């Protein structure tokens, strides 16, 4: 059986899993690097695969850039006039950040009570029935074997309700971070949703602290964190 087929049907040993994971990750990021470089070669050096290198940046390209800059400026001015130059509020930003639901990829397996309850909670969550999903997760987290992912999905299930229940989301999200071994696979996500829960609950000081941490780390959601931090009311 080929290695990728083994990976697909979960008939793989530890070494093979490592080999396949490495190969898949390498190919994915090599592809991304290639795409970034192809783009930069074209935009910055005028070199494409199809046409011979023009050598230096052509006059046509400079004209195209100038036109793009002018168009961007014009759009910016018009947009500024339409929205009256107002910055987004923290309410509008949290609404925007909560508009896309975090995917639930937990596996539904096992016949124990916790597995069954968890399965029902996942099904409700994936149907976007967040009230049911929160109620079921409340039942899951008191059972032995509950883990940090259960607390995470309980917290986000409160946050995705309409209106979001920020105050109720705080406790489970904090519990999701209470892992002395720090083995949670969703630590960064838990912190992010905890931040949104604090903002929803009007608790800006702890939200500010988490946002600053997110900005300092950079990468995932750092620019969203910056926007949200700037929109928070001064205390």
The vertex-213 CA angle with 165 and 99, nearest 5°, equals 35
Could you say whether residue 1 binds another protein (CB under 8 A)?
Answer: no
Tokens 């290695």 label which residue? 3
**Does residue 37 touch another protein according to CB under 8 A?**
yes
Q: How many residues bind another protein (CB under 8 A)?
A: 50
Comparing C-alpha atoms, which of 163, 31, 173, 168 is closest to residue 102?
A: 173
Among 47, 177, 201, 232, binds another protein (CB under 8 A): 47
In whole angstroms, how large is the CA radius of gyration of the chain?
24
Binding status of residue 139 toward another protein by CB under 8 A: no
User: Is there a contact between 214 and 221 (Cβ–Cβ < 8 Å)?
Assistant: yes
Q: Does 189 bind another protein (CB under 8 A)?
A: yes
Examine residue 36 and tell whether it contacts another protein (CB under 8 A). yes
Q: Compose the 145-164 pattern: x for residues touching another protein by CB under 8 A, - for all others.
A: --------------------
Q: How far is the CB of 186 from another protein (least distance, A)?
A: 5
Binding residues (CB under 8 A) for another protein: these are 4, 7-10, 12, 14, 17-18, 21-30, 33-34, 36-38, 40-41, 44-45, 47-53, 55, 103, 105, 107, 181-189, 219-220
């Amino acid at each position: 059986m080929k290695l990728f087929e083994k990976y697909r049907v979960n008939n793989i040993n530890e070494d093979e899993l490592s080999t396949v994971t490495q190969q898949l990750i390498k190919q994915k990021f090599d592809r991304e690097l290639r795409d970034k470089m192809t783009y930069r070669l074209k935009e910055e050096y005028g070199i494409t695969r199809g046409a011979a290198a023009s050598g230096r940046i052509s006059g046509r390209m400079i004209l195209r850039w100038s036109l793009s800059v002018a168009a961007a400026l014009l759009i910016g001015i018009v947009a500024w006039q339409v929205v009256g130059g107002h910055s987004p509020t923290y309410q509008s930003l949290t609404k925007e950040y909560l508009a896309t639901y975090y995917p639930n990829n937990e596996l539904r397996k096992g016949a124990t009570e916790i597995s069954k309850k968890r399965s029902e909670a996942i099904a409700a969550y994936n149907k976007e029935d967040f009230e049911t999903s929160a109620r079921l997760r409340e039942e899951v987290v008191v059972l032995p074997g509950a883990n940090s992912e259960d607390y995470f999905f309980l917290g986000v299930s409160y946050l995705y309700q309409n209106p979001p229940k920020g105050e109720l989301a705080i406790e489970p999200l904090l519990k999701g971070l209470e892992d002395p071994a720090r083995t949670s696979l969703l630590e960064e996500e838990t912190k992010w949703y905890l931040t949104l829960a604090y903002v929803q609950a009007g608790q800006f000081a702890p939200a500010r602290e988490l946002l600053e941490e997110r900005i300092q780390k950079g990468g995932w959601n750092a620019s969203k964190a910056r926007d949200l931090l700037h929109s928070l009311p001064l205390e």
